[in-house]
Structure 1
Amino acid sequence: MRSKQIACALTLAVLLAGAGGCGESRGYDVPKALCGKKVDSELLKPLLPPGERIDARQGMDKDWTETCRVSVDKELVLYIDDARSSGHIDAMAFAKEPYRQLKNLHKTGIGDDGVLADNGAYVVNRCAYRGKQASYILEIRVSGPRAESSDSLRPEIQRFAESYLPVGAKAMGCGT
């Protein structure tokens, strides 16, 4: 009986040590929508840090761009910009702009012209908008503790961007 109690105590201690050591305590549920757009919460989760409260605020600039600023405990941790353009957009040229603060840029197979960074992505996809040729542009930037604690979130960002791309394009009125 005594050995069974010790075994149970050791098992509980190992489980608690494992749970406490991961540092992923979230006092919030990972959302299934951001700024009115459905997202895959399992793909979003790796981009968000632990914390107590999550908040997503939508912004708009005229008819052609929407932003979503996601904060955890009042710190900006994820920025998503959905835009539409009638002109040609070179994803790498735009991704290199210093104010975007994207690190370690590489071309990727996301969209028609995509750039993946350690902390974000810049993707351009051709689309039709009101019967005319246009481009849908998706910019994602991860900041805050998650971006600072990792050398690269590249695989997680790529998976999230690939799943978000059709949702964002549709919300911006882009068809294929």
Structure 2
Amino acid sequence: MPSGAELSDEPWVSDNSFSCQIYVDGLMQLAFTEHSGQRKFDVSADAKSGRLGGFDRLRASDVSDNAVISHTRSVVMAPCPKAGRNYILDLELPNAEGDHSDAIERFVRSYLPTGLAAMGC
């Protein structure tokens, strides 16, 4: 995250979703969304086709069997048997420049168990 004078967030919560956008000086720097109870789909195929929005230099991620990562974004699907269906984590750095894929992947790898537990998985 860049330094700045003002840090703000916009969280949103529902029964099976959590989303938060982080802003520095009014510019969104991080968009973070979690969903549980989702139908299974091929994350890589949907990302390549554009159905999941834009990715810069997309590649598969070993964070889960159904995950992709790019320079500024990652989408991961993992089973959520307790809550039924699947859990999705979508993390994006919308205004970042350069390749942040290694840092995103490390964060997602460390956060995934916490996210799964928080969503009842």
User: Is TM more than 0.5 here?
Assistant: yes
Q: What pairs with 1:26-65 in structure 2 (closer than 5 Å)?
A: 48-60=1-13, 62-65=14-17
TM-score by length of 1: 0.62
| Gapped regions of structure 1 (runs ≥ 5) | 1-47
Which residue in 2 is equivalent to 1:79? Answer: 31
1:99 positional shift: 6.1
1:104 positional shift: 1.1
Q: Do the aligned partners of 1:106 and 1:115 also contact (CA within 8 Å) in 2?
A: yes
Structure 1 residue identity aligned to 2:120: G
* Number of equivalenced pairs: 120
Structure-2 change in CA distance of 1:92 and 1:128 (3 Å): same
Q: Do the aligned partners of 1:117 and 1:154 also contact (CA within 8 Å) in 2?
A: yes
Which residue in 1 is equivalent to 2:69? Answer: 116
- Of structures 1 and 2, the larger Rg is shown by 1
Which residue, out of 132, 136, 140, partners 2:91? 140
Q: Kindly, what percent of the aligned residue pairs are identical?
A: 28
Partner Cα separation in structure 2 for residue 172 and residue 160 of structure 1: 18
TM-score by length of 2: 0.88
Partner Cα separation in structure 2 for residue 123 and residue 83 of structure 1: 11
Matched, 1:128 2:81: yes
Bigger RCO of structures 1 and 2 (CA < 8 A, at least 6 apart): 2
Which residue, out of 160, 166, 170, partners 2:107? 160
Which shifted more, 87-96 or 103-112? 87-96
Stretches of 4+ moved more than 3 A in 1?
Answer: none
1:86 positional shift: 4.2
Which residue in 2 is equivalent to 1:89? Answer: 41
Q: Do the aligned partners of 1:102 and 1:141 also contact (CA within 8 Å) in 2?
A: no
* Residue aligned with 1:118, SS: coil
Structure 1 residue identity aligned to 2:86: S
